Copies of this chain bind each other. A is one copy, B any other.
Amino acid sequence: MSTTTQVKIHNFSAGPCILPQEVLRKAAESMIDYDGTGLSIIEMSHRSKPFEAVMAKAQSLVKELLGAPDNYQVVFLGGGASLGFHIVPLNYMKPGGKAAYANTGEWAGRAVKESKLVGETVVVASSEDKNFNYIPKGFDIPADADYFHFTSNNTIFGTQFKQFPKSAVPLICDMSSDIFSRPVNVADFALIYGGAQKNMGPAGATVYLMDPDQLGKTGRKLSPVLDLKNHASKDSMYNTPPVYAVYVSMLTMQWMKDQGGVVEMERRNAAKSKLLYDTIDRLPMFKGTTAIEDRSVMNPTFVMTDAAMEAAFDAQWKAAGVSGIRGHRSVGGYRASMYNALPIESVQVLVDVMEDFAKKNG
């Protein structure tokens, strides 16, 4: 095991992203010898007792961390949330029915597109008019929609639903980029799903947390591999699950639990985002890109008021070990993603660079 690297990296990557060091160390150990079995976690059958225990633990931690109702079911599938965009309308939209969506960014838009390929899809709220720099509010959800779908946090644009929409129809949420960052009332949702590669673990697993009473109600004949009811009935073992991604997700969820759960994550994330947003707002050289009340706690986005200074600023944060804050090409500027595992010390390093740069160049 290499231990020679001494550079301290402050990892603000938008995802795949920083995970707790303890998790990485344990995950590395288990690549060689899982729990004294003499086998790597990745070279044992997914139907072996040790892995079945990993799966059961991962499923129960999802529910425990989020305080889900007892009867809710959890499966981990491959294919990313992008496959989820396709799975959602297939599993929840009746033939001849319709679905309602909020379009708040790139991933929300992809979900809309997938739904349109399945059936009638109404965009009941959109912030596309202002390049997705705010969260639409006060919109109506048609009472005859089969479900309402929204994206709780918009990674690219840096906005986040602070309050979840009230809905008379089943509520479905892609929480890929802020799941486990704060408490949610799971009972309000028919389905919460998300790619693992932000707060939950590595890329390669997608979690589906489901109200079983809302499954299998469309009358559609589904491919078994896209049928959430089938996966739930097989306890996430209909086919070989993404073993290692589930395992590392389990370790990460255990870490969150040991740290104090999602209430503690919320407290830390609030402190981190306040530190950065306060700095953005205090220094005239920087400017947030989104409506203040909709600012994402996970992905603060900002620009420099004088774009000509970016190169000099880039050199300074890179020298300080800051990594991954360049903004997505569709927004430009900067995006400092601050997922659960990012320590506030890393945010302080970035803030110090910003202060110092402003002092010298302001």
Contacts and interface: CB of A to CB of B under 8 A. Distances in A.
Interface in A100-122: 110, 113-114, 117
A80 B240 contact: yes
Contacts of A81: 239
Instruction: Determine how many copies of this chain the complex contains.
Output: 2
A44 interface: yes
A22 to B, nearest CB: 11
Main secondary structure of the interface of A (DSSP, over half): loop
Contacts of A243: 16, 197, 202-204
A283 interface: no
Contacts of A82: 224-225, 238-240
Interface stretch (A29-37, A128-136, A140-148): A29-37
Contact of A44 (B13, B24, B79): B13
A242 B245 contact: yes
Contacts of A297: none
A351 interface: no
Contacts of A7: 38
A242 B242 contact: yes
A348 interface: no
Nearest to A225: B82
A11 B43 contact: yes
The 3 closest A-B pairs by CB, nearest first: A78-B78, A204-B242, A82-B239
